[in-house]
């Protein structure tokens, strides 16, 4: 690792710590959460009527709180390296309130947030092969990006990680070296043959980064888990996004990786599938007044490849705080995404 890389934020892997899911499953956590929600709701003249845990994952827990006003509220806490979501969502609600779920309250220090119920998520209201709805998802998600132009400093101050396009080659080199050095038996360890292939790929990563840099587009919010389970359809026709725990600041076009990847697997599609192109174009059009759409389409494969680094980083954040059993199940996820740089782009 060169001296310059050693000074960057990715000079070390996310610090490891205990798995929070053990605490989230305990009566002690329920008591902590209950006390906080009583205070939050009580400040608005609402009594807490009922509280139940709905999701318990290694990376987050979600609880349903019923208020005396008849409204359900959703409370969430993330793992240590993703707890910035509470502060980030608060900023997004301020900067683009019509495009994200409204925030009732946060505790930024503990990474707690609570939002009012928004009804059914989009995936419950559309067919699995509804391409038009997926076009809406990516178009609205990238419209959110446009709403946030000039607000990068606020998002960074909230705690989001910036994956700068120009740093992609250094990031890959650093993560390959770090994951290769992990002891045998560690689920995150990168196999020597894969490490060799990734080292050889660095010049290509540099070409991808140079191609995207030439577009002159700044890094912006990339949801990094953009699918129809993480969006609500508002009565006014807008889409409201949530679940930003995986989010990064990265190249705008890289936001298309997850929806296109999901659809490619769902359809069994090849990289020239017209349905995937239609969804990609819906997102590209949002930025078409900044860079000609033809140039964006040409650069999209590079952006989709570098989008894999966002998934790598979010999984490395998650995998830093897993129990031993969770490490067995999920511990190789970040390494898998890094290794996937060797795969062909989902859309060419």
Percent with pLDDT over 70 in the chain: 98
- Which helix (H) or strand (E) covers residue 227, if one does? none
- What pLDDT shows up at residue 160? 98
- What pLDDT shows up at residue 235? 78
Question: CA nearest 245: which of 72, 77, 94?
Answer: 77
Cβ-proximal residues to 307 (8 Å cutoff; 6+ apart), any chain: 222, 250, 251, 253, 254, 255, 256, 257, 258
Tell me the C-alpha distance between 23 and 202, whole Å. 41
- Which helix (H) or strand (E) covers residue 232, if one does? strand 231-233
- What pLDDT shows up at residue 2? 61
Give Cα 336 distance to the centre of its chain. 16
Record the tokens describing residue 169, joined without a space.
Answer: 């080659």
- Convert the pLDDT of each residue in 19-64 to its tens digit: 999 999 999 999 999 999 999 999 999 999 999 999 999 999 999 9
- Which helix (H) or strand (E) covers residue 163, if one does? none
Record the tokens describing residue 104, joined without a space.
Answer: 């009732």
- Tokens 């997926």 -> residue: 134
Record the tokens describing residue 272, joined without a space.
Answer: 């020239």
- What pLDDT shows up at residue 4? 63
| 3-state class (DSSP) for residue 220 | strand
CATH fold of 3-12+118-342 reads Aminoglycoside 3'-phosphotransferase; Chain: A, domain 2 (3.90.1200)
Contact 282, 135 (CB under 8 A): yes
Tell me the C-alpha distance between 134 and 130, whole Å. 7
Tell me the C-alpha distance between 262 and 232, whole Å. 18
Tell me the C-alpha distance between 91 and 68, whole Å. 28
* Ranges of residues in the chain whose predicted pLDDT is under 50: none
Record the tokens describing residue 234, joined without a space.
Answer: 């508002």
Cβ-proximal residues to 332 (8 Å cutoff; 6+ apart), any chain: 187, 188
- The end-to-end CA distance of the chain, in Å, is 32
| 3-state class (DSSP) for residue 72 | strand
- Partner residues linked to 74 by β-bridges: 64, 115
Query: Global pTM?
Result: 0.96
Half-sphere exposure of 3 (CA within 13 A, CB side): 0
| 3-state class (DSSP) for residue 320 | coil
Tell me the C-alpha distance between 255 and 11, whole Å. 25
Tell me the C-alpha distance between 170 and 151, whole Å. 26
- What pLDDT shows up at residue 3? 58
Tell me the C-alpha distance between 311 and 337, whole Å. 6
- What pLDDT shows up at residue 238? 82
- What pLDDT shows up at residue 7? 81
Record the tokens describing residue 76, joined without a space.
Answer: 């969430």
- Convert the pLDDT of each residue in 73-107 to its tens digit: 999 999 999 999 999 999 999 999 999 999 999 99
Cβ-proximal residues to 233 (8 Å cutoff; 6+ apart), any chain: 122, 125, 239, 240
Domain borders along the chain are: 3-12+118-342
Contact 92, 84 (CB under 8 A): no
């Amino acid at each position: 690792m060169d001296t310059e890389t050693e000074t960057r934020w990715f000079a070390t892997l996310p610090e490891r710590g205990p798995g929070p899911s053990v605490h989230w499953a305990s009566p002690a956590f329920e008591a902590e959460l209950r006390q906080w929600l009583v205070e939050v709701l009580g400040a608005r003249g609402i009594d807490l009527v009922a509280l139940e845990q709905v999701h318990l994952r290694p990376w987050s827990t979600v609880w349903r709180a019923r208020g005396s006003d008849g409204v359900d509220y959703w409370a969430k806490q993330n793992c240590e390296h993703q707890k910035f979501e509470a502060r980030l969502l608060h900023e997004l609600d301020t900067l683009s309130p019509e495009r994200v779920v409204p925030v009732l309250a946060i505790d930024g220090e503990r990474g707690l947030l609570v939002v009012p119920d928004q009804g059914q998520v989009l995936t419950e209201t559309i067919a699995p092969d509804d391409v038009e709805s997926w076009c809406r998802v990516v178009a609205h998600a990238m419209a959110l990006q446009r709403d946030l132009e000039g607000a990068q400093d606020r998002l960074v101050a909230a705690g989001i990680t910036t994956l700068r396009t120009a740093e992609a080659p250094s990031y890959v080199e650093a993560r390959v070296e770090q994951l290769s050095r992990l002891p045998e038996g560690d689920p995150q360890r990168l196999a020597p043959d894969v490490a060799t292939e990734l080292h050889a790929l660095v010049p290509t990563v540099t070409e991808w980064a140079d191609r995207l840099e030439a577009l002159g587009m700044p890094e912006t919010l990339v949801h990094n888990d953009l699918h129809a389970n993480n969006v609500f359809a508002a009565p006014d026709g807008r889409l409201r996004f949530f679940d930003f725990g995986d989010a990064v600041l990265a190249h705008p076009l890289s936001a298309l990786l997850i929806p296109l990847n999901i659809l490619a697997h769902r359809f069994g599609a090849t990289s020239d599938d017209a349905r995937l192109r239609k969804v990609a174009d819906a997102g590209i059009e949002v930025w078409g007044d900044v860079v000609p759409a033809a140039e964006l389409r040409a650069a999209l494969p590079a952006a989709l490849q570098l989008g894999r680094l966002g998934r790598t980083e979010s999984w490395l954040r998650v995998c830093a705080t897993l129990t031993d059993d969770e490490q067995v199940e999920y511990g190789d996820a970040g390494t898998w995404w890094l290794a996937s740089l060797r795969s062909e782009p989902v859309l060419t």
